[in-house]
């Protein structure tokens, strides 16, 4: 068995955390390929190294003295090296970084050094081969990730190695310039490495023991999700649930490689398994609840609109022409409602209304703001009768008015619209109905 193990910033924030990671890797011989993030926060109020690098480079870009800030970053790494008892020196690496900052090498280069340097420390600590991600992760000239080239070259490079450390978060353009993924991109790198070596498992180690059914800031101590499918995860991630970067799903999904979310500080916990499909019966009817605030609804009323060919296309054209995307579009015989992000829509609302009148000739248009969308997701809902009725019952008992309901054809999720002021109470009501009553 071969595993790729990715460790987040909180798992590598200090020498103490590094030792935990080392113990985890050495506990199983199958953990052969390691993807580290940059050091995260050591304590509340601390600053992540990536943020320190961004701040340091901003000074360099403005031709201000940045050396004090660069020295603080070096001190963070030296503290880890000393705590691990290594003889490694990063002096030469920081001299190169200094020259590159002075030459205005770019924000992406600056940010990538956090993972790059941590990768060197990790390789020295484990006795693994260091492989610079810039040599095996590639982007096209337009900034798009080059999956085919990366998979081929990385696969060939790593095939010859029994173990390796590949820093997360960055790669390179065709001309060699460093290019980073979006924040959280080390998750993506781990997935790419797992695909390239045809790993049996991609373990993603962080500071939580897997996904939780809902936001712990709303529900105290919510139950953990034991197994979740890629489709369920995609739905929850889109609606704001975050442990794993959602783009990290795609490379391993195409190869059927499962992801195991684990906790560095509780390595004996089984975590959450992310799989393509499963016959395992979920513990609860629902898998997770997630949502976002800050939406508005635009309801277009017109008698017999359902018989008017092209009405929906023309309605959406009014939004497209004004550069506004939509989230959901429930409709009835004489009404069509478009849900959009309020902060995008509010500055262009009258332009959209005018366009709707020109294109659709509606009888009436009504706009309502300060709405939230909540996704109730679960593969178990398809085979369980009365799920929607139980959701409405829970919300009714909590005196919450439902403004919208939309169910996908896969019966994997139900989207509910409520007022922003009811958001937290709605999530509590749904959680209590589907989780607490089953415990």
Query: d(Cα 259, Cα 273) in Å, to the nearest integer?
Result: 6
For the whole model, what pTM was predicted? 0.85
- For the beta carbon of residue 226, count every other beta carbon within 10 angstroms: 16
Give the pLDDT band (50/70/90) at residue 406. confident
**Which two structure tokens, joined as six digits, stand for 284?**
């609860």
Where does 3-207 sit in CATH, by number?
A: 3.40.1160.10
Give the pLDDT band (50/70/90) at residue 411. confident
pLDDT digits (tens, 9 = 90+) for 67-116: 999 999 999 999 999 999 999 999 999 999 999 999 999 999 999 999 99
Which residues have CB under 8 Å from 375's CB, separation 6+?
235, 236, 238, 239, 289, 290, 291, 413, 414, 415
Query: d(Cα 125, Cα 15) in Å, to the nearest integer?
Result: 11
What's the whole-number mean pLDDT along residues 274-296?
90
- Return residue ranges of the chain for CATH 3.40.1160.10: 3-207
The proportion of the chain whose per-residue pLDDT surpasses 90, expressed as a percent, equals: 79
Q: Which residues of 157-180 are buried (b: 16+ CB within 10 A; e: fewer)?
A: bbeeeebbbbbbbbbbbeeeebbb
CATH number assigned to the domain with residue range 288-438, chosen from the 4 options 3.40.50.300, 1.10.760.10, 3.30.1600.10, 3.30.2130.10? 3.30.2130.10
Query: d(Cα 168, Cα 166) in Å, to the nearest integer?
Result: 6
**Which two structure tokens, joined as six digits, stand for 95?**
């001299």
SS (H, E, C) 7-63: ECHHHHCCHHHHHHHHHHHHHCCCEEEEEECCCCCCCCCCCCHHHHHHHHHHHHHCC
- Return residue ranges of the chain for CATH 3.30.2130.10: 288-438
The proportion of the chain whose per-residue pLDDT surpasses 70, expressed as a percent, equals: 97
Query: d(Cα 53, Cα 114) in Å, to the nearest integer?
Result: 7
Query: Between β-strands 288-301 and 335-341, what pairing exists: parallel, antiparallel or unpaired?
Result: antiparallel
Query: Which range has the top average pLDDT, 22-36, 176-190, 300-314?
Result: 22-36
Whether the per-residue pLDDT at 418 is higher than 60: the answer is: yes
What's the whole-number mean pLDDT along residues 233-253?
76
The predicted structure's pLDDT at residue 241: 67
Do the beta carbons of residue 122 and residue 34 sit within 8 Å? yes
Whether the per-residue pLDDT at 313 is higher than 90: the answer is: yes
């Amino acid at each position: 068995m071969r595993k790729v193990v990715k460790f987040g910033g909180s798992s590598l924030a200090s020498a103490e955390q590094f030792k935990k990671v080392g113990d985890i890797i050495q506990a199983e011989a199958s953990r052969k390929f390691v993807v580290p993030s940059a050091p995260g926060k050591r304590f509340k109020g601390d600053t992540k190294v990536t943020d320190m690098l961004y701040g340091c480079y901003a000074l360099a870009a403005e031709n201000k003295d940045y050396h004090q800030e660069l020295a603080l970053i070096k001190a963070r790494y030296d503290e880890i090296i000393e705590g691990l008892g290594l003889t490694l020196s990063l002096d030469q690496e920081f001299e190169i970084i200094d020259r590159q900052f002075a030459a205005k090498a770019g924000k992406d280069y600056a940010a990538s050094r956090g993972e790059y340097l941590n990768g060197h420390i990790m390789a020295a600590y484990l006795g693994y081969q260091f492989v610079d991600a810039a040599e095996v992760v590639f982007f096209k000239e337009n900034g798009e990730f080059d999956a085919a080239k990366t998979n081929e070259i990385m696969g060939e490079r790593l095939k010859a190695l029994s173990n390796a450390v590949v820093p997360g978060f960055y790669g390179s353009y065709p001309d060699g310039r460093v290019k980073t993924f979006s924040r959280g991109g080390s998750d993506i790198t781990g997935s790419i490495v797992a695909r390239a070596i045809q790993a049996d498992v991609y373990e993603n180690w962080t500071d939580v023991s897997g996904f939780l059914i809902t936001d712990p800031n709303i529900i105290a101590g919510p139950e953990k999700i034991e197994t979740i499918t890629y489709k369920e995860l995609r739905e929850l991630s889109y609606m704001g649930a975050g442990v794993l970067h959602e783009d990290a799903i795609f490379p391993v999904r195409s190869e059927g490689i499962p992801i195991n979310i684990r906790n560095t500080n509780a390595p004996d916990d089984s975590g959450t398994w992310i799989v393509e499909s499963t016959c395992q019966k979920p513990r609860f009817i629902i898998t997770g609840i997630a949502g976002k605030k800050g939406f508005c609804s635009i309801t277009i009323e017109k008698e017999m609109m359902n018989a008017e060919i092209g009405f929906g296309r023309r309605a959406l054209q009014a939004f497209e022409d004004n550069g506004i995307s939509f989230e959901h579009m429930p409709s009835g015989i004489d009404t069509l409602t478009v849900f959009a992000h309020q902060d995008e829509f509010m500055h262009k609302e009258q332009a959209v209304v005018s366009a709707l009148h020109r294109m659709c000739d509606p009888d009436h248009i009504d706009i309502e703001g300060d709405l939230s969308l909540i996704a109730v997701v679960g593969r178990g809902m398809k085979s369980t009768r009365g799920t929607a009725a139980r959701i409405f019952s829970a919300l009714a008992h909590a005196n919450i008015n439902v403004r919208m309901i939309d169910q996908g054809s896969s019966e994997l999720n139900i989207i509910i619209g409520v007022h922003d002021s009811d958001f937290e109470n709605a999530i509590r009501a749904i959680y209590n109905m589907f989780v607490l009553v089953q415990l």
